[in-house]
Amino acid sequence: MRSNGVVVVGSSNTDMVIRVKHLPRAGETVLGGEFMTAAGGKGANQAVAAARAGARVSFVACLGRDSLGDRALAGFIENGIEVSHVTRTADAASGAALIFVSRHGENSIAVASGANDRLSPTHVRRARLAMLRARVLLVQLETPRATVEAAVRLAVKQGMLVILNPAPARLLPNRLLRLVSILTPNEAEAESLTGIKIEDQTDAMRAAKALRSRGIPTVIITMGAQGALVSHGTDTELVGSFKVRTVDTTAAGDVFNGALAAALTKGRRLHDAVRFANAAAALSVTSMGAQPSAPMLPAIERFIATRSKPRRVGRLSGHGM
């Protein structure tokens, strides 16, 4: 019997974060302020964000047999994530990321993939029953593309909604994109996929149209403080964001995707699900760290209830969604 669950197939890293006055340029050493470590990795971030936003989550991932992997696994369990398909390997270290965060909240990230590169289509196939029971598959691109494709194809066979967050940006074949239900690039990723430089809403609309022409039913381009441009059916609209004081933008996109998946499992309309995800992402940038910044469902609901409705820029083309 299919539940309202989410299966996340993806990466897990430990983030090592230094706050700096400004991001280092090539060859420059910047004396930093506070140092912290936090659980991260796009797949793990999205799994935790979805779980905290109220979804039942099963995570398919690969960790090293090391202390970083031990700590990551304990964190998944603490967040109520089902971990029977989190594999441990002795052939590689657990993934790690080095992150600089400026005083303006901007970040620069380098990643050592480690065990994430060992996540294979075989691991995905072993999770078939978990996928059969869930409603949404959420995937990103920090694991091998063959693994992502295997997960998407299996999910489509089993009638799941497939959300692909194409991050980090890389070229993707149409045979994969045609199987995706919802594509969620940010502006840079949309530019990488289409060649269209996004500087305003008009550019974003053009990029969304180009992506839709490749067979994707729904494209959501996240645009930071502006909100999220949603292209679905004959309609395109910009769902406005919430104004907050930015501390750290690390994982804001991951929180958006996890919260979006959670909202869709609850049967929310697309516009309402995107607004919910915008609220979760806005809350996440008000605190440091990747997974630590993912808000809990009550906090998201309180935030929405106590804020005036964000400016809905409105439909930019077509008919109602």
Task: Indicate the domain borders of the chain.
Answer: 8-24+33-314
Distance CA 203, CA 181 (A): 22
Query: What's the pLDDT score for residue 4?
Result: 75
Query: What's the pLDDT score for residue 320?
Result: 36
Query: In 3D, which of 155, 149, 152 has the Cα closest to residue 133?
Result: 155
Active-site amino acid positions:
254
Query: What's the pLDDT score for residue 2?
Result: 60
Query: What's the pLDDT score for residue 34?
Result: 81
Task: Classify residue 168 as exposed, middle or buried by CB count within 10 Å of its CB (0-12, 13-18, 19+).
Answer: middle
Query: What's the pLDDT score for residue 319?
Result: 37
Distance CA 95, CA 168 (A): 15
Domain 8-24+33-314: which topology?
A: UDP-N-acetylmuramoyl-L-alanine:D-glutamate ligase (3.40.1190)
Query: What's the pLDDT score for residue 316?
Result: 56
Q: Coil, strand, or helix at residue 77?
A: helix
pTM of the entire structure? 0.90
Residues of the chain with pLDDT under 50: 311-314, 318-321
